Amino acid sequence: ASVAVQATLLSAVTGFTEEEADRAARGDCEALSPPLLLCCLAVFTAVALQEARDTANLARWLAHLPRSGKASSATLVFAAQGGAHDGWPPRLRWAGGGLGRRALLCAALLVVLPKAVLAAALLVVGERYLWHSTGNESLLLRTLSLKFVTGIDELLFEVAAGPGHKYGL
């Protein structure tokens, strides 16, 4: 769901960029402060690269999941693992044999691939979006709006998941 929200917001950003490019071609904009432009581009690039790193970490985590040659599935369960443990935060362990090839392939195609495509598109579209700012105020607002687009998935997860699920994931 969060990938769909990010894709929708990114497509809106693309439309705004085209409008701003037309406005800049007509000369309806003020000169941008070069230091501010460099700072905003650096901040946005760092945010976009963090999205790419998060996607790579997700792919790495997926590659280390227990595997099974069968179509069986593994489940994460909450359990205390011996010793003095008060039950919170809950510890996780695998129950079952592992994930089958189909489950791993589905996870890669339905989660990792769209997230990677969005991270790459965000970097390309976002940089263009910042370059076509019509003034310093617009540049700052655009930088903040791109940060919002990258953080929408965490915001949705915070609202939708309970405390036990947050820890488990």
Q: What is the pTM of this model?
A: 0.62
Cβ neighbors of 155 (< 8 A, separation 6 or more) are none
The whole-number average pLDDT for the span 150-166 is 75
pLDDT digits (tens, 9 = 90+) for 21-64: 666 666 666 777 888 888 888 888 888 899 899 899 989 888 88
CB neighbour class for 109 (10 Å; exposed up to 12, middle 13-18, buried from 19): exposed
pLDDT of residue 129 exceeding 90, the answer is no
Sign of CA dihedral 63, 69, 72, 77: negative
Cβ neighbors of 114 (< 8 A, separation 6 or more) are 3, 7
The whole-number average pLDDT for the span 84-89 is 51
